[in-house]
């Protein structure tokens, strides 16, 4: 008789598939991969080791995100998971994937433009309005509802909107 309970072999891809289900608590339309928060995924005899980075160093969601990664991946793959913050890599806004930026706009938040190591005034002063598409906008404050968002105002449609800040 053939025994079919052979343990299913996980692949790194299975771990990534599981990570796709872990959403950012402050921007619930984006998962941690789209946010560019995952820097390394390894598996060995002890279990799964995931390295991640916060967007801002004081991000209050960091422990929640670590816990959600650990809970989700260990449930899906039935293996112990440890999640650590990677000190060697710093998050910057170029790590957001194109899919992430599309989803942000759909969520009503302007996406940060690609930068080349410096943030200049143009990136902040005339951000395209996610509601009407106008560039006739100005930054009301570099600080908003969360550390990663700034507040802008659109002169065209008269609406406030938020931008995910470009960060170097």
Partner 1 sequence: MENLIKELVTKMADDALILGHRNSEWTGLGPIMEEDIAFSSMAQDKIGHAWALYRILQEMGDGQDPDQFAFLRAESEYKCCHLTEMPIGTYEFSLMRHFLFDHAETVRYNSLLESGFVPLQQLAKKVKGELKYHTLHADAWVIQLGKGGAVSHAKMQAALDSCFPLACGIFEPGPDDAGLRDIYPGEKVLQERWIDNIYPVLTKAALNIPENVAPAYGGRYGQHTPYLHALLEEMGEVFRQDPAAAW
Can you give the binding site for partner 1, defined by CB under 8 A? 56-60, 87-88, 90-92, 119, 124, 140-145, 147, 150-151, 165, 167-168
Least Å from the CB of residue 76 to partner 1 = 27
CB of 52 to partner 1, least distance (A): 14
List Cα–Cα distances, 42 to 48, 118, 125, 166, in angstroms.
Answer: 6, 32, 41, 30
Contact partners, residue 144, CB within 8 Å, separation at least 6? 150, 151, 162
Cβ 113 to partner 1 shortest distance, Å: 15
Residue 109, judged by CB atoms within 10 A of its CB (0-12, 13-18, 19+), counts as: buried
The nearer residue to partner 1, 77 or 124, going by C-beta atoms, is 124
For partner 1, the closer CB: 15 or 62: 62
Whichever of 12 and 145 has its CB closer to partner 1, that residue is: 145
Q: In degrees to the nearest 10, what's the CA dihedral of 127, 133, 135, 136?
A: -110
Nearest CA among 54, 53, 52, 48 for reference residue 73: 48
Shortest approach of partner 1 to residue 140 CB, angstroms?
6
CB of 23 to partner 1, least distance (A): 22
Q: Are 69 and 37 in contact (CB under 8 A)?
A: no
Which one-letter DSSP state was computed for residue 76? Answer: H
Q: Which is nearer to partner 1, 90 or 156 (CB)?
A: 90
Nearer residue to partner 1 within complex by CB, 61 or 69 = 61
């Amino acid at each position: 008789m053939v025994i079919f309970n052979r343990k299913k072999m996980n692949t790194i891809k299975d771990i990534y598939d599981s990570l796709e289900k872990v959403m950012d608590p402050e921007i619930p339309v984006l998962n941690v991969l789209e946010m560019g928060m995952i820097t390394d995924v390894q598996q060995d005899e002890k279990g799964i080791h995931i390295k991640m980075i916060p967007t801002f160093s004081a991000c209050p969601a960091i422990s929640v995100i670590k816990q959600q990664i650990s809970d989700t991946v260990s449930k899906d793959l039935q293996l112990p998971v440890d999640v650590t913050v990677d000190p060697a890599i710093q998050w910057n806004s170029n790590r957001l994937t194109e899919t992430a930026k599309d989803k942000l706009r759909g969520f009503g938040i302007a996406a940060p433009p690609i930068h080349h190591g410096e943030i200049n005034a143009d990136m902040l002063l005339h951000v395209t309005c996610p509601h009407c598409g106008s560039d006739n906008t100005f930054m009301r404050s570099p600080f908003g509802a969360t550390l990663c968002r700034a507040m802008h105002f659109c002169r065209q449609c008269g609406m406030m909107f938020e931008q995910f800040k470009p960060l170097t």
